[in-house]
Amino acid sequence: MQLRSIPLLVAGVILPVAEAALRQHTLELTYGTHNADGTTRESWLVNGQTPGPHLVWDEGDDVSVNVVNKGHEPVTMHWHGIEQVGTPWSDGVPGLTQWPIPVQGDFVYNFTVKQSGFQWYHSHYVCTRI
């Protein structure tokens, strides 16, 4: 019995352990022309595109997202489905958890990903759609 437990102990020591990472992103919000459905119209762009870039995180990662507002009106960013335990100021609800990001301003959202799954981000200011 003791001989069988030693290899298990050694295997547990040499197996790699996944560690949380710091994931940093910058999202630059602009207002420009977009043609997703064949009709050209003005819309919000995130890093020059809409929808915005796909952000991939692992459960346990610390995330830091700098949102830069180069649009024409104030804006916030809401991380739909991301639990904001201990970081309510990063929830992106204007007038409740943060002030809107002014034109030419920026805001850094910091949070830890506590769950796995598919989530999305969008604006929570007036009728803005990102």
> Average model confidence (pLDDT) for the chain?
83
- Asked if residue 116 is part of any domain, the answer here is yes
- Specify the pLDDT at position 19: 72
CATH (domain of 115): 2.60.40.420
Sign of the torsion formed by the C-alpha atoms of 53, 54, 60 and 61: negative
- Asked if residue 10 is part of any domain, the answer here is no
> Where is pLDDT greater, at 59 or 81?
59
pLDDT at 67 over 90: yes
pLDDT 10s digits, 77-95:
988 888 888 887 787 787 7
- Asked if residue 4 is part of any domain, the answer here is no
Cα three-residue angle 51-55-61, rounded to 5 degrees: 155
- Asked if residue 112 is part of any domain, the answer here is yes
CB 92 within 8 A of CB 124: yes
- Asked if residue 41 is part of any domain, the answer here is yes
Count structural domains, the chain. 1
Tokens 């995180």 map to which residue? 57
pLDDT at 1 over 50: no
Please give the residue range of the domain that contains residue 113. Answer: 21-122
